[in-house]
Amino acid sequence: MSGPGGGPTCYPQEPPSNPALIPGFGGIPRLKRDLGNAVVRDLLLTGRSFNATKAQQIGLVSQVVGEGEALRAARATATQLGKFDRATAAAAKKFIKPIPHEELRREIDIFCELFARPAVQAGLRKFVESTDAQPYLP
């Protein structure tokens, strides 16, 4: 991950466009599985973001590279991954990162309930009509 001026940047932010709506598409269960409740609570309840160094410290990313180095690093990682038997790698991935099916279903239900609220509709309208550089920030 790299940013302007060679400094690492990463700005994951969970409230997608409006603090009245939670993320959908598995964002909460997967982040909770991979990073724990504390990080998810911070992202969801404050809307804060963090830089690439912090993302690496908490385990969201495995490497941070300088500006212009991301493609080279990604290709090197892909080359290394390609050296392993695909079936073995797939089995390892299933063990390491199980899919939280029940939590995904709960997230979908909650997302759909919240989506129908007037506050969400207003927030989405603001997002679509906004010319701000970061219209998703409250």
Instruction: Write the DSSP string, 55-88.
Output: HHHTTS-S----TT-HHHHHHHHHHHHTTS-HHH
What pLDDT does 135 receive? Answer: 60
pLDDT in tens, the chain (138 residues): 444 444 555 545 444 444 566 777 788 888 888 888 888 888 888 877 788 888 899 888 889 999 999 999 999 999 998 998 999 988 988 888 888 889 889 988 988 888 888 888 887 888 788 887 766 555
- Residue 81: both structure tokens together: 């991954």
What pLDDT does 45 receive? Answer: 82
- Residue 76: both structure tokens together: 């090197």
Burial 87-125 (b: 16+ CB within 10 A, else e): eeeeeeeeeeeeebeeebeebeeebeeeeeeeebeebbe
What pLDDT does 40 receive? Answer: 86
Using alpha carbons only, give the angle 43, 44, 50 rounded to the nearest 5 degrees.
Answer: 15
What pLDDT does 17 receive? Answer: 41
**Spatial separation of the C-alpha atoms in residues 85 and 65, rounded to whole Å:** 27
- Residue 43: both structure tokens together: 């992202």
| Domains of the chain, residue spans | 4-129
What CATH class is the domain 4-129? alpha beta
